[in-house]
Structure 1
Amino acid sequence: MNMIEDLKIRYPGAVAWSFGDTPEMADELAERVAKGIKTATCCSLSSFKLEDEPPVIGGYNIILNSKGEAVCVIRVVSMRLIRYRDVDQDFVSKEGEGDFSLNYWMQGHKDFFQREGSFDEAMELVAEEFELVEVL
């Protein structure tokens, strides 16, 4: 049995995934979660609706690095809808990315959502907050 299978037994219903859309992003953001710097994330509502196993409040997630190795386990503690243009500094700080500024977040996420093919200032995001359960 591999580590991810073992974790799925310890955390029933856990979903394994990595952040971002590049290996560098997967590694950097997994590390920030494991250090407790990143306690929130978001995705476009359109991509959320397409997920096979979308996150749920109270659900466990196994965060992977770019090699598919488990880095840590998190648990979703809240989820809400928010428009891209309405994201505030409080949420940006919890996302814990880059220099923690609203400008950095706005540009980085605009770029990401454009790569995804779904960017619009009025687009709805699923904003999740989570707690770190275990660092592996």
Structure 2
Amino acid sequence: MTNPSVPPAALSPAVLEFMNEARRALGPLPEPADAFAFGDSPRMADELLALVLAGVKTATCSWPAERSCEEGDLSVVLDDRGVPAALIRTAERRERPFLEVDAAFAHDEGEGDRTLAWWRDAHRRFFGRLTDLPRPFSDDETVLCERFELVYGRA
């Protein structure tokens, strides 16, 4: 469950310092394509970030399918206060109908009990809370399913 991203031109000084920290630890890295917090609340942002840092969450799904990252792009994941805490690399991006998202993807999102039934229910509720869109979410929508790898994280 992904929030809208921040365009590269708007990367904060904290994100830029985080990238410098990551480069000191890992060597040269390209600029991140974006910075974002998972979810739609401070609590969810921190819960999902913790799953990323633990290696449990390796996928995310968004609707509408508008994120601008491409495979190979880096993204900075923010905590509930907007503090950078993880650097991830997009490994795969696929648009697919909501009802064609499979159990393996639901498991890789790392949330809840990691079943497809839990995933569908949670995402229907999450996407249903997005009120600034021209239409409500339905099972007929196309969603963006992304897999990623953790490149660097703050403990």
Q: TM-score, normalised by structure 2?
A: 0.78
Higher relative contact order (CA 8 A, sep 6+): 1
Compute the displacement of 1:102 (Å). Answer: 1.2
2:19 is the alignment partner of 1:5: no
Tell me which amino acid in the other structure corresponds to 1:132. L
User: 1:128 — aligned with what?
Assistant: 146
Q: Is the aligned partner of 1:96 residue 2:107?
A: no
The secondary structure found in structure 2 opposite 1:116 is coil
Moved more, 92-101 or 4-13: 4-13
SS of the counterpart of 1:100? coil
C-alpha displacement at 1:8, in angstroms? 4.3
What letter corresponds to residue 31 of structure 2 in structure 1? G
Counterpart of 1:70, as a letter, is P
Unaligned runs of 5+ in 1: none
Distance 1:113 1:19, change over 3 A: same
Aligned with 1:38 (options 42, 45, 57): 57
C-alpha separation in 2, matches of 1:115 and 1:62: 24
User: What is the deviation of 1:80?
Assistant: 0.6
The alignment partner of 2:129 has SS state of: helix
When you count strand as a share of all residues, which structure comes out higher? Answer: 1
Aligned-pair Cα RMSD in Å: 1.7
Deviation at residue 129 of structure 1 after TM alignment: 0.4
Deviation (angstroms), 1:35 = 0.6
Residue-pair matches, total: 131
1:59 is aligned to 2:109: no
Give 1:81-92 correspondences, 5 Å limit. Answer: 81-92=95-106
Show structure 2 runs of 5+ residues with no match: 1-11, 24-28
Sequence identity of aligned pairs in percent? Answer: 34
